[in-house]
């Protein structure tokens, strides 16, 4: 497995190359879903439920239909019947039932966006309303254990807690958060005799194709999905959500005409998922020197009553620290809400908040430096599974981060530094993210007109796939990057797995390596024009034998204003161990991007649900705050050289998500050091310091 690329003269991998799609993006000429220029499009605007639970008794569409330019009003009465594929979220307009506020119950199709929008406001809907329940709490009596996460117990945590000289037992919470990629979820759907064409903002054209084909009872060959550029996703554009189904239903009523649907920013808070809030009881049992004898996390998350999704926040506790006694549990509250979904580092991101703040509390309780505490609890093998790590360099990240950050001079006492009215402190937390690989990718290599045309239906959602896959192909073929012509983002290309779980580069890249090898084996180094070969992603038997994860350490400096409680983060420094770095420029962007979103999570993000109305009330970017430019001051990402011979032929680990893991904990820990106030809930806002 190891070093398949060592034999070639590696020139492109590791090179600091600018994005191949850079000029198109800075001039705004890269084409996103809604921007494909098609003839005479019609515009679709959704009608959303204004009750939380119940059924639609009647639509009164007379005034809406009278608006000039309105083509049709789409409801469950005239929508096509879809196949039941076992995903209730996608059963769009299949019944009169309302399962959450904001659910799509219809849509208006019109000649212009203005007419569609005006008409939606004129549709009168009469409901039969039922009582609802959206209150998320760990004290609910109807919490249940999801099938995918049985309780995981090793040893006896309760016994360890009872006998340990030092314990930490606190509850930490993270709020509901919305992905909010800058490009709203958008679709252009064209229904023709030949089939359905979708210009879609998605993290995976092939998964959209297969799911839509199944829903609409079409041969997958008759569905084509096109997404050359995608304006961010962070998970919400991974699984399908109702809008793409709605657009296809509307296009079916208007054969031959393109139907355009772009969600408004407000609709993004109702229809495309979110990160579940979590409540985490974390328990640590330790010796006086900080060595853990027990570690436990009991997670409560929410799901929709009509579709289950589990935010698996207990996962990192399987990986992080040695302790003979361990307990990891998950409970779900099923509510009358829209289904949660993946959001950047689902599981790991919220699941490293509670435990990493708890580790800081343990460091304080034991009088041990928080870097040293983590080093002392470094496991030899993956704690929950006992498998060896393919590589694990958390300690190296902590040491290198401490050196770069200037940690050694830190006075551990809180509330010791005051500068110009600001209390100043520093904190640390660890990061981790699994190194996955998704099956199902195929790549094709063809030599034509002096170029190697490499084709795979991958997606670039901002990760740099256009660039790094070109680099990987160049080295795998042993040619300069200028000899490679890459095509991605179209389901007419060979199948590719999703851009998700930080698996894109490694899954697609390993597939391209296999296809390049197949090409060279068949056609040699002087191929004829038209020579072609393809290959699928090979199995990696090492995946059974080894635990594979990336690790990191994040250091934060926080200032809290002594009078106003205002919180600023003047410094944030991360060091990561993530295998081979394919392109330092795009990799650094991935890390700092994750850390910036982590800073945003620490200080700002909070989707506020009004239990009376069942919806997110701060549903726009003026009220749902995300980090702005002025929030980010000195932010640095570094990495250590890490050779991992087992993970994949590239020796690379996924890096799109680890940057957000641990950031919020490092910031909260720094705020404790600055002020002596321990914050156990996010976001950390000024009222925490004014009590």
Partner 1 sequence: MESDIILRVNGREWPLRVDTRTTLLDALRERLGVTSPKKGCDHGQCGACTVLLDGRRINGCLVLAVACDGSEVVTAEGLGTDGELHPVQQAFVDHDGFQCGYCTPGQVCSAVGMLEEVAAGWPSAAGRPVADTPVLDDAEIRERMSGNLCRCGAYANIVTAVRAAKEVSR
Query: What does the buried/exposed string (b/e) look like for 326-361 if buried means 16 or more CB atoms within 10 Å of the residue's CB?
Result: bbbbbbbbbbbbbbbbbbbbbbbbbbbbbbbbbbbb
**Alpha-carbon gap, residue 140 to 100, rounded angstroms:** 20
Closer by beta carbon to partner 1, 21 or else 153: 21
User: Closest distance between partner 1 and the C-beta of residue 224, in Å?
Assistant: 21
3-state secondary structure of 249: helix
User: Closest distance between partner 1 and the C-beta of residue 117, in Å?
Assistant: 9
3-state secondary structure of 106: strand
Closer by beta carbon to partner 1, 252 or else 625: 625
Closer by beta carbon to partner 1, 112 or else 154: 112
User: Closest distance between partner 1 and the C-beta of residue 657, in Å?
Assistant: 12
Q: Specify whether 97 is catalytic.
A: no
Asked if residue 459 lies in contact with residue 499, where contact means CB atoms within 8 angstroms, the answer is yes
User: Closest distance between partner 1 and the C-beta of residue 125, in Å?
Assistant: 24
User: Closest distance between partner 1 and the C-beta of residue 630, in Å?
Assistant: 4
By residue count, the chain amounts to 691
132: Cβ–Cβ under 8 A, 6 or more apart, which residues?
A: 52, 53, 336, 614
- Element of type H or E holding 487: strand 484-487
Long-range contacts for 386-390 (Cβ within 8 Å, ≥24 apart)?
387/545, 387/546, 387/547, 388/545, 388/546, 388/547, 389/546, 389/547, 389/548, 389/549, 390/435, 390/542, 390/546, 390/547, 390/548, 390/644, 390/645, 390/646, 390/647
Task: Please give the radius of gyration of the chain, using alpha carbons only, rounded to the nearest integer.
Answer: 26
User: Closest distance between partner 1 and the C-beta of residue 668, in Å?
Assistant: 19
Closer by beta carbon to partner 1, 202 or else 391: 202
Closer by beta carbon to partner 1, 112 or else 210: 112
User: Closest distance between partner 1 and the C-beta of residue 521, in Å?
Assistant: 36
User: Active site residue: 348, 382, 642, 657, which one?
Assistant: 657
Closer by beta carbon to partner 1, 495 or else 589: 589
Binding stretches for partner 1 (CB under 8 A) = 18-19, 21-32, 34-35, 37, 112-114, 180-184, 229-232, 234, 262, 264-265, 461-464, 585-586, 588-590, 592-597, 600, 620-622, 626-633, 635
DSSP letters, 616-650, are ESS-STTTS----GGG--EEEEEE-----SSS-TT
- Element of type H or E holding 104: strand 104-110
Enter the DSSP assignment of 579. Answer: B
Closer by beta carbon to partner 1, 247 or else 334: 247
From edge to edge, which strands make up the β-sheet containing 549-561?
A: 417-419, 422-434, 549-561, 567-577, 634-639
Q: Which residues are catalytic?
A: 657
């Amino acid at each position: 497995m190891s070093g398949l690329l060592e034999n070639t003269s590696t020139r492109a991998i590791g090179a600091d190359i600018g994005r191949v799609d850079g000029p198109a993006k800075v001039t705004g000429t890269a084409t996103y879903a809604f921007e494909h220029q098609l003839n005479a499009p019609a515009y679709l605007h959704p009608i959303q439920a204004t009750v939380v639970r119940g059924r639609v008794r009647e639509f009164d569409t007379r005034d809406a239909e009278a608006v000039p330019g309105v083509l049709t009003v789409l409801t469950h009465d005239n929508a096509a019947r879809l196949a039941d594929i076992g995903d209730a979220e996608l059963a769009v307009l299949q019944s009169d039932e309302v399962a959450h506020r904001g659910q799509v119950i219809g849509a208006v199709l019109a000649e212009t966006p203005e007419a569609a929008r005006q008409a939606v406001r004129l549709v009168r809907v009469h409901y039969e309303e039922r009582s609802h329940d959206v209150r998320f709490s760990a004290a609910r009596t109807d919490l249940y254990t999801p099938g995918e996460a049985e309780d995981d117990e090793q040893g006896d945590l309760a016994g360890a807690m009872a006998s340990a000289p030092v314990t930490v037992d606190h509850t930490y919470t993270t709020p509901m958060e919305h992905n909010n990629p800058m490009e709203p979820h958008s679709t252009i759907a064209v229904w023709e005799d030949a089939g359905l064409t979708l210009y879609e903002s998605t993290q995976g054209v092939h998964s959209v194709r297969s799911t839509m084909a199944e829903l609409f009872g079409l041969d997958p060959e008759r569905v084509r999905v096109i997404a050359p550029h995608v304006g961010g996703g962070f998970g919400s554009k991974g699984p399908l959500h109702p809008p793409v189904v709605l657009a296809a239903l509307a296009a079916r009523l208007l054969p031959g005409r393109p139907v355009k649907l772009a969600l408004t920013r407000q609709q993004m808070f109702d229809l495309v998922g979110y990160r579940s809030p979590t409540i985490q009881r974390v328990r640590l049992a330790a010796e006086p020197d900080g060595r853990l004898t027990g570690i436990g996390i009991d997670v409560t998350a929410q799901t929709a009553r009509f579709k289950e999704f589990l935010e698996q926040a207990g996962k990192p506790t399987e990986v992080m620290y040695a302790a003979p006694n361990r307990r990891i549990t998950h409970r779900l509250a099923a509510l009358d809400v829209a289904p949660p979904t993946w959001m950047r580092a689902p599981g790991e991101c919220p699941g490293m908040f509670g435990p990493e703040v708890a580790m800081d509390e343990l460091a304080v309780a034991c009088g041990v430096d928080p870097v040293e505490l983590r080093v002392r609890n470094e496991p030899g093998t993956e704690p929950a599974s006992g498998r060896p790590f393919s590589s694990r360099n958390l300690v190296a990240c902590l040491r290198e981060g401490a050196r770069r950050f200037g940690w050694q001079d830190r006075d551990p006492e809180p509330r010791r530094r005051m500068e110009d009215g600001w209390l100043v402190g520093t904190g640390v937390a660890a990061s981790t993210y699994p190194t996955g690989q998704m099956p199902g990718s195929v790549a094709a290599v063809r030599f034509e007109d002096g170029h190697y045309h490499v084709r795979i239906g991958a997606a670039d959602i901002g990760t740099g796939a256009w660039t790094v896959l070109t680099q990987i192909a160049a080295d795998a073929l042993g040619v300069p990057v200028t000899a490679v012509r890459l095509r991605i983002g179209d389901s007419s290309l060979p199948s590719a797995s999703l851009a998700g779980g930080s698996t894109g580069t490694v899954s697609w890249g390993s597939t391209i390596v296999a296809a390049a090898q197949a090409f060279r084996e068949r056609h040699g180094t002087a191929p004829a024009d038209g020579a072609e070969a393809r290959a699928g992603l090979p199995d990696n038997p090492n995946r059974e034998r080894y635990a594979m994860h990336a690790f990191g350490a994040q250091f934060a400096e926080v200032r809290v204003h002594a009078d106003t409680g205002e919180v600023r983060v003047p410094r944030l420094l991360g060091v990561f161990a993530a295998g081979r770095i394919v392109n330092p420029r795009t990799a650094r962007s991935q890390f700092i991007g994750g850390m910036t979103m982590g800073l945003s999570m620490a200080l700002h993000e909070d989707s506020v649900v009004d239990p009376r109305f069942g919806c997110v009330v701060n549903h726009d970017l003026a009220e749902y705050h995300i980090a702005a430019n002025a929030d980010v001051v000195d932010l640095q990402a570094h990495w250590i050289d890490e050779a991992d011979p087992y993970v994949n032929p590239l020796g690379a680990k996924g890096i799109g998500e680890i940057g957000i893991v641990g950031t919020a904990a490092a910031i909260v820990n720094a705020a404790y050091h600055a002020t002596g106030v321990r914050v156990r809930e996010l976001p950390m806002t000024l009222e925490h310091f004014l009590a």
